[in-house]
Amino acid sequence: MAKDLLVTVADSKTLEQVKALFASAYLEGCWQGDFMLLTDYIASDQREWFESRGILVTVKPLIYSKKEWVKKHLTDEYGPIYIHRFHLFTKEFKKWDLILYLDADIIIKGSLEAFTKISLVAGVKDDMLNRLKFQLKKKPMQIDDRKFADLKKSYGLYSPAINSGVIAFRTELIRKDSFDQLLALTDRFLAISKYPDQLLLNLFFYRKIHYLSHRFNAFFWLFDSSRFAFERAAILHFAGYEIKPWEKRNPYHSLWKTYQHVSEKIDFTKQPTIKKERTVSLFVFQLFYELMILERRVQFFFKEVDRQLGLVGLWLKKRHPKMYLFIKKIKK
């Protein structure tokens, strides 16, 4: 058994995604630790595929039924599988020193070694939603004013928030009551959480997170719009992009398909061939990212201004049609 574990969560419908993820992590990420699929159910033939190649399979029951989930989250969006990774915070996972969790909609392009050197817990700040307040549903006070007041009192709403699709932590953080703490956070805040697991993990790791470069969690909008980012990113994450890489319409489908195909031939118990990686300045990459995200925020700002002006125009047209026509003539 290795001292480090790379794990993803998937249900029985998304196992092909796991194969591609693990293949890219092995070949490009040169991951030297164990690989694990954490799921709620897997057929025996599918399980044999993974285990025969040295991938660990752990089956755990859903923490909540679908009915309980809807009652707590106040919507059937997402589902209880999204907090399945909370099982990682139990005693049995302390046999590893470090756990790296990756979402299944990821392709690895560079070394994952940086994650093995973290001190406690590490992740990458979310893009446009990089504050706790942006991890909430719209108008959380109207949804449940008590839960919102509780959150506001206990945590800083403007505290940084990571994207939980890429997160690494030392298992020394796991205590006897860690799983129960996560369930308690779920009871307190799931109803007002926009992204179920993301808000809760940010709260669980509150003020403990070391923030890594966006090279280790590059979103689609970034690497698709820049050759510089694509060539230097270690992790390509298709978060926020509706067309996932396993869909033929996705521009990176052929790349994803390559890893899915080659996964058939990999023995994950063997140490990967360590590749000589190109030198990448994290400072330069992060500076490039900050400039790109600033441009993106400016674009969103002016789109919102246009939208608000459009609403004002509709109001004027309805309530003061003469003034509306007058302003329209001036604009022309």
CATH number for the domain that contains residue 109: 3.90.550.10
What's the pLDDT score for residue 145?
A: 95
Residue 54 pLDDT greater than 80, yes or no: yes
Residue 147 shares a structural domain with residue 167: yes
Whether residues 197 and 161 share a domain: the answer is: yes
Average pLDDT over residues 98-123: 97
Domain assignment present for 172: yes
pLDDT at 35: 98
Specify the pairing of strand 98-102 against strand 4-9.
Answer: parallel
Burial of 22 (0-12, 13-18, 19+ CB in 10 A): buried
One domain, residues 203 and 319: no
Q: pLDDT band for 8, please (50, 70, 90 cuts).
A: very high
Residue 2: pLDDT band by 50, 70, 90 thresholds? confident
- How many independent structural domains does the chain possess? 2
- Structural domain includes residue 276: no
CB 209 within 8 A of CB 121: yes
The structure tokens listed for 323 are 């003034």
**Is the confidence at residue 34, as pLDDT, over 70?**
yes
Task: Tell me the backbone φ, ψ of residue 94, rounded to 5 degrees.
Answer: -75, -5
pLDDT at res. 276: 82
- pLDDT for position 316: 59
Query: What pLDDT digit, counting tens, does each position of 237-292 carry?
Result: 999 889 999 999 999 999 999 999 999 999 999 999 988 887 899 999 999 999 99
* Domain's final residue, options 252, 271, 290: 271
Residue 128, pLDDT score: 85
**pLDDT of 332 higher than 60:** no
Are residue 99 and residue 121 in the same domain, yes or no?
yes
In this structure, the answer to whether residues 146 and 289 fall within a common structural domain is no
Question: Would you state the pLDDT for residue 304?
Answer: 62
Please provide the average confidence, as pLDDT, over all residues in the chain.
92
Q: Are residues 230 and 310 in the same domain?
A: no
Cα 168 to Cα 155: distance, rounded to the nearest angstrom: 22
How far out from the chain centre does Cα 64 lie? 21
Q: Is the pLDDT of residue 88 over 90?
A: yes
The residue count for the chain: 332
Judged by DSSP in three states, 291 sits in: helix
Residues facing residue 131 across a β-bridge: 160
Identify the pLDDT of residue 326: 62
Token pair listed for 139: 């108008």
Q: CA 43, CA 255: separation in Å to the nearest integer?
A: 27
Lowest mean pLDDT among 87-96, 209-218, 258-267, 274-283: 274-283
Residue 306 pLDDT greater than 60, yes or no: no
Half-sphere exposure of 263 (CA within 13 A, CB side): 25
- Domain span including residue 295: 281-332
- Is there a single domain that holds both residue 267 and residue 287? no
User: Among the three residues 253, 271, 289, which one is the final residue of a domain in this structure?
Assistant: 271
Claim to verify: residue 137 and residue 64 sit in the same structural domain? yes
Query: How remote is the C-alpha of 81 from its chain's centroid?
Result: 14
Residue with the bigger pLDDT between 150 and 300: it is: 150
Longest pairwise C-alpha distance within the chain: 77
- What does the DSSP assignment read for 33-89? SEEEEEES---HHHHHHHHTTT-EEEE---SS-HHHHHHHHSS-SS-GGGGGGGGGG
Residue 10 maps to a domain: yes
* Assigned domain for 300 exists: yes
299/228 same-domain check: no
Would you place residue 324 in the very low, low, confident or very high pLDDT band (cuts 50, 70, 90)? low
- Scanning 220-281, the segments in alpha helix (DSSP H) are 220-225, 227-232, 253-262
Query: Are 180 and 234 in a shared domain?
Result: yes
CA separation for the pair 113, 276 (Å, rounded): 12
Look up the pTM and report it. 0.89
Domain final position from 225, 251, 271: 271
Strands of 126-271, DSSP E: 162-170, 209-211, 218-219, 235-237
Inside any domain, residue 242: yes
Render pLDDT for 132-141 as a digit per residue (tens, 0 to 9).
999 999 999 9
Confidence of residue 77 (pLDDT cuts 50, 70, 90): confident
Residue 294 CA to residue 307 CA, distance in Å, equals 20
Q: What percent of the chain has pLDDT over 70?
A: 91
Angle, vertex CA 104, rays to CA 274 and CA 106, nearest 5: 55
255 & 322 share domain: no
Assess if residue 176 is contained within a domain. Answer: yes
Q: What does the alpha-carbon distance between residue 273 and residue 28 come to, in Å, rounded to a whole number?
A: 9
Do 82 and 187 sit in the same domain of this protein? yes
